[in-house]
Chains A and B, each alone.
Chain A
């Protein structure tokens, strides 16, 4: 696997999400990218419903990425990310008495997957409890394992398709600039954005 950058695409005023997704897909196809199936990244959140003196209330996020179909990622809200077999889901069911799934918190990003030379481009619609919340773009550059070595190349591609976004790399990627990139890093980027969407959604509801 290479290096991945995940970032949101701001929907301009007066346009629907579907229109923007169509528009982005056309742009990518114009560039010469080839459709290569679909993708999906999903996230469920479990909340602890027990309290013993030593453990504060905890959230555990369980994420799956269609790019790693046999793997399940579990992230505690401390940031610790466990990479496990997909059967980890069954283990979470065993903890029913301690961790319960938060209702209406299931969030996923899914859509079209494109190959373009050494790049992989994914245009995902974000759905929170099956309602559209926004667009997440993912760009992967295969041949490299260190972000520091290829960031400028990736930035050039991203800006040529989507205009002047991402002048500087996202904060999460900045700290990963010189360490080897792995699948759990992609998942952590998605989780960060998912949490952002959830926060915005609950803030909207409160208003």
Chain B
């Protein structure tokens, strides 16, 4: 019990702290920091739910709550108790805070829906127990053991199944189109371009021997360079150590009028 209380109090401290941070320091707070805090929160939520699930913990109790007095005046004790969230205990807030049932309109709608389901499934009460407790119990008594009724049941079941299938299919279509949209987002970077740019600035790939015709097709020209080197190498006794000198002669051919005296 004590450990539960401790975890609860820690949880509230951390959550309050991070809410406060987000509200007041949103300009200076950093993203990694926020993520850190969330990680802390989710960790504590986890341990809390683990504790509640464990069998040693007695179930949380039910209390009967009866509003004894309503007052239109400000209640300081209440304000302190709720940390400023609730200041006045009057006829307006009581129904909201002490409600244990859905609102009448919601309840009406709910029964209406249960009725409908009950009629369509009048002869298979068990599977619809969840949806229409009242109706199902009623129809249970009206069960007639008849072959035509069984056929009817079968038909309804088929209808329902096919309906559900339709719903599932359309949902899947929706997901897929969403996923497609995501992958269709414009690509903002290209690995091939990264590599070609790095190669260019580190070893000069695509930058050496600039000639005007290069602009038409750089790939083709790269090939030209290679074949040129090879054809020049061939007549000499092509040792590896001579490679640089052949490259140099190539440079000369490409730019005879360069002022930085290449040779």
Contact = CB atoms under 8 A, between A and B. Distances in A.
B263 interface: yes
Interface in B10-47: none
Interface string B237-263: 000000001000000000000000001
Contacts of B263: 53-54
Interface residues of B, number: 2
Nearest to B262: A54
A51 to B, nearest CB: 13
Interface in A42-75: 52-54
Contacts, number: 3
Nearest to B244: A52
Interface in B212-251: 245
Contacts of B245: 52
Interface in A86-101: none
Taking residues whose C-beta sits less than 8 angstroms from the other chain, chain A's interface range is under 10
A52 B248 CA distance: 12
B261 to A, nearest CB: 9
Contacts of A54: 263
Nearest to B261: A54
Contacts of A52: 245
A52 B245 CA distance: 9
Contacts of A53: 263
A97 to B, nearest CB: 14
A102 to B, nearest CB: 26
B237 to A, nearest CB: 17
A54 B263 CA distance: 7
A52 B263 CA distance: 11
A152 to B, nearest CB: 42
A50 to B, nearest CB: 12
A187 B137 CA distance: 110
A54 B249 CA distance: 12
A54 B262 CA distance: 9
Nearest to A52: B245
B27 to A, nearest CB: 40
A54 B245 CA distance: 11
A52 B249 CA distance: 13
A146 B263 CA distance: 39
A196 B171 CA distance: 93
A28 B217 CA distance: 74
Interface in A113-171: none
B246 to A, nearest CB: 13
B93 to A, nearest CB: 74
A120 B263 CA distance: 47
Interface string B58-86: 00000000000000000000000000000
Nearest to A54: B263
Interface in B173-218: none
Interface string B116-150: 00000000000000000000000000000000000
B249 to A, nearest CB: 11
A58 to B, nearest CB: 15
A54 B251 CA distance: 14
Interface in A24-50: none
Interface of A: 52-54
3 contacts: A52-B245, A53-B263, A54-B263
Q: Would you list the 3 A-B pairs with minimal beta carbon distance, nearest first?
A: A54-B263, A53-B263, A52-B245
